[in-house]
Homo-oligomer: A and B are copies of this chain.
Amino acid sequence: MPRTTLRSVAQAAGVHAATASRALNPETRHLVNADTARRVLKAAERLGYQPNPIARSLKTARSNTIGLVVPDLTNPLFPPIARGIEEVLEEAGYSVWIVNTDHDLAREQALVESLRSRQVDGLILCTAHLSHPLIEKMRDEGVKMVLANRRTDDPGVPSVTPDDAHGIDLAVRHLAGLGHRRIAHLAGPQSTSTALTRARTFRHVVRDLGLDDDGLVVECAQWSERAGAEAMNALLDSGTSVTGVTAGNDLIALGCYDALDERGLSCPDDVSIVGFNNIPLLDKLHPPLTTVAIPHHELGSEAARMLLDYIEEPDRQPRSVLLPVSLITRRSTSAPPQENG
């Protein structure tokens, strides 16, 4: 049973397909006689007509679809962002197509290519690296896009990110306020804006507060629990004694839990830990993780609104929006252990 086509609706209403097309489209409806339009609408209704978006896209080079590119859906950070995006875009009549790059640049390129060839009207990318040839190329080609969560170092691409600097500032001051003087930062991959900003700010704040400062920044290879554990192990192996850790994100903080566990050390009695992002379930951990909360949902919805703005008004200046963050204090942080001797 073939779908009913525009032509059959037109036939049923006794008009030409072109007229039916105009009658069905609110934008062009004024071009046809009100009575005729009504007849067409009726016929369409009666036959259960659904326009064929493929044919429409072929003709109009639009699709009412936007692509959402995430590095890893299993990272609990992204689903809420995706929800925020969907909420705004579906309201505006767009469908959202989610693709997963698995942190793989080649896959990203292929998936983006696939999205673009399907005429998506815009892209939201959560995969940005500071230097990102694919994004630069698309900027040059005038592709409508917004970066979410991370940015490139090119201010020419609009972005919505959490206020990473303020977040780390809060985290370090929190630890310092509890009395910690030897604090390390387990940074995420420094090729990303989030990781770089957090690490840089960490160094500044440590200096500003006059804390012990001998480069206690360790870079993790991934934003993952395993990489966090490895980095924490490396830190502990190196003999540097730290009493506080600010992790690049929550998954890295979880890796710290693992590393401490393995050595029979306790959080927060031996080491206090602060995460970043406030993914779900942290409140039920042992111990509940103190973390910097970012507004996941707004990150998505803000990015979506911004994309809509650029679609409507392509010449608008690119903006970079920082979203406010806050510290959520739980039980993974406490005063540092007393030094013996």
Interface residues of A (CB under 8 A from B): 1, 3, 50-55, 57-58, 63, 73-74, 76, 79-80, 82-83, 86, 95-100, 102, 111, 113-114, 117-119, 141, 254, 257, 280-281, 284-288
Contacts and interface: CB of A to CB of B under 8 A. Distances in A.
Contacts of A284: 254, 257, 285-286
Contact of A54 (B54, B95, B100, B113): B54
Contacts of A288: 286
A53 B119 CA distance: 9
B76 A73 contact: no
Q: What's the number of copies of this chain in the assembled complex?
A: 2
A316 to B, nearest CB: 22
B281 A1 contact: no
Binding site secondary structure of chain A: mixed
A100 B117 contact: no
A3 B143 CA distance: 13
24 contacts: A3-B117, A50-B113, A50-B117, A52-B58, A52-B117, A53-B114, A53-B118, A54-B54, A54-B57, A58-B58, A73-B79, A73-B98, A74-B280, A76-B76, A83-B102, A86-B100, A95-B99, A95-B111, A96-B99, A98-B99, A281-B281, A281-B285, A284-B285, A286-B288
